[in-house]
Amino acid sequence: MREVAMPSETELLVCVKCRRGQDIPADDRRPGQALYDALADRPLPEGLRLTAVECLQNCDAGCTVALRGGDRWTYVFGNVDEASHPDMLLDGAARYHATGDGLIPWRERPEHFKRNCVARIPPLTPNTPVEAD
């Protein structure tokens, strides 16, 4: 049982079971676990919690992560690479955390976030007008 995130925190969820469509030997580390490990090895931005999750069910376009927390929109991103994307993810997570609603201004949004958003889900307590981006 993991700890529960504080409401104001941002949570970066990482699917650690992701095979990214590869045929992974049973005793090998999966790409999703490698992504999680790479993130856990780095200093995390203030206010960010890293959470391992088993299967975010975006298996055809993994690795997959999600950002959520507070009154922000939840975002799910796919096609994440465990070798080249950890720093980008932490930068994007910090930018997300800096917003009140989860909508990173388009010009500041990592290119990968722009092109690989799988879905987003509104906050339970919407505090902002609905926007189309």
The footprint of its own copies (CB under 8 A) covers 1-2, 4-5, 13, 17, 53-58, 64, 66, 68, 74-76, 117-122, 124-126, 130-133
Cα separation values, 6 from 3, 9, 24, 66, 108, Å: 9, 5, 35, 16, 26
Smallest gap from residue 2 Cβ to its own copies (A) = 7
Smallest gap from residue 89 Cβ to its own copies (A) = 16
Contacts by residues 125-129 (CB-CB < 8 Å, ≥ 24 positions apart): 125/71, 126/71, 127/71, 127/100, 127/101, 128/100, 128/101, 128/103
Q: From CA 22, how far away is CA 2, in angstroms rounded?
A: 28
State which residue, 51 or 95, has the beta carbon closest to its own copies: 51
Smallest gap from residue 24 Cβ to its own copies (A) = 15
State which residue, 17 or 97, has the beta carbon closest to its own copies: 17
State which residue, 26 or 130, has the beta carbon closest to its own copies: 130
State which residue, 76 or 93, has the beta carbon closest to its own copies: 76
For residue 10, give the H/E element and its range.
strand 10-15
**Tell me, what amino acid is at 63?**
C
Smallest gap from residue 57 Cβ to its own copies (A) = 5
